[in-house]
Structure 1
Amino acid sequence: MSDDNELAIERLIDAPIDAVWRAWTEHLTEWWCPKPWTTEIIEMDFRSGGRSAMIMRGPNGEEAPQEGVFLEVIPKQSVVFTDAFTAGWKPAGPFMVGFMQFEARGAQTFYRAGARHWTAEAKAQHEAMGFAEGWGKVAEQLEEVAKRLA
């Protein structure tokens, strides 16, 4: 997999890393998708090999289920997940490997989030879906929650 197939956003979040991590792990439904969309958590097993399952719902009744596994979870450092597998390491139709990186910078947190794709076509599809705008908005919402928790 080449970095050429990576999409990412970076933000300096105005909240300490403890609050950002709590927002990420304990308040995911409040920020995971751009409002007015909502998130229903089916299961979030925050450990390597743990299941990640949710349903994102749009204001017009749209549903976008997401199923995958966590590849790596290092508290207050990184989260890596993929939809290439479902629980029990059952292969699925891969679209991406998602990642979130966290770095304490005093009272703020450097946040980098993105997706690595198997093909240029999948990357282009994700870009066309509004990756930069959507993931950017989600980062803003994450910051709002983290600031509230700080």
Structure 2
Amino acid sequence: MFELKIERVIDAPVAIVWQAWTLHYAEWFVPRPWTLEVIENDLRTGGRSALMMRGPDGEENSSEGVYLEVVPQQRIVSTDALKAGWVPAEPFLVRIDEFAEHAGQTRYTARARHWSAEARDQHAAMGFEPGWNAATDQLEEVVARLKRG
């Protein structure tokens, strides 16, 4: 398996981390100074995800895919290998986000699974670890705000 992974314990119950992940997606999903426009985020099995990421120098990177599995407060699996209606697309990864209770906190795990070692290594070279960790830092900021009410 050609996987990249980050994992951390977030100081909040799963319900709050789930709320931050699902309802505040645009606030955390891309590392600053990039921004995210959510075109569609139909968070259900078979639902479409369509995003536009914008960089500080005018860069644009669109992403479209589908959710393969959504288990509330447990697991979200998505891929860009398919578009809405199960239309095949040029694949890059399958993303798996897992949320597990951990002594009143949440063990959050995010995986990127690739079709080849070359694709995995390309993703690592693009900055997987610092990028996904920065996004998860931002997720934790949203979680802290939600906890404060």
TM-score of the alignment, normalized to the shorter chain, above 0.5 = yes
Identity of aligned residues (%): 58
How much has 1:104 moved relative to structure 2? 1.3
- Is residue 112 of structure 2 the alignment partner of residue 115 of structure 1? yes
| Separation in structure 1 between the aligned mates of residue 111 and residue 141 of structure 2, nearest angstrom | 19
- Is residue 99 of structure 2 the alignment partner of residue 129 of structure 1? no
The aligned counterpart of 2:61 is 64
Q: Which runs of 4+ in 1 moved over 2 A?
A: none
Cα offsets for 1:30-89 (capped at 9, x unmatched): 000000100000000111110000101001000010100000000110000000000011
The aligned counterpart of 1:49 is 46
The aligned counterpart of 1:29 is 26
How much has 1:105 moved relative to structure 2? 1.6
- Is residue 145 of structure 2 the alignment partner of residue 148 of structure 1? yes
| Separation in structure 2 between the aligned mates of residue 15 and residue 143 of structure 1, nearest angstrom | 9
Q: What RMSD, in angstroms, separates the aligned Cα atoms of the two structures?
A: 0.7
1:15/1:143 contact within 8 Å kept:
no
Q: Which amino acid aligns with 2:91?
A: P
- Is residue 1 of structure 2 the alignment partner of residue 19 of structure 1? no
Query: Structure 2-normalised TM-score?
Result: 0.97
The aligned counterpart of 1:38 is 35
Query: Structure 1-normalised TM-score?
Result: 0.96
Structure 1 alignment gaps of length 5 or more? none
Aligned residues between the structures:
147
Q: Which amino acid aligns with 2:132?
A: W
1:49/1:71 contact within 8 Å kept:
yes
Q: Which amino acid aligns with 1:85?
A: L
SS of 1:95 mapped into structure 2: coil
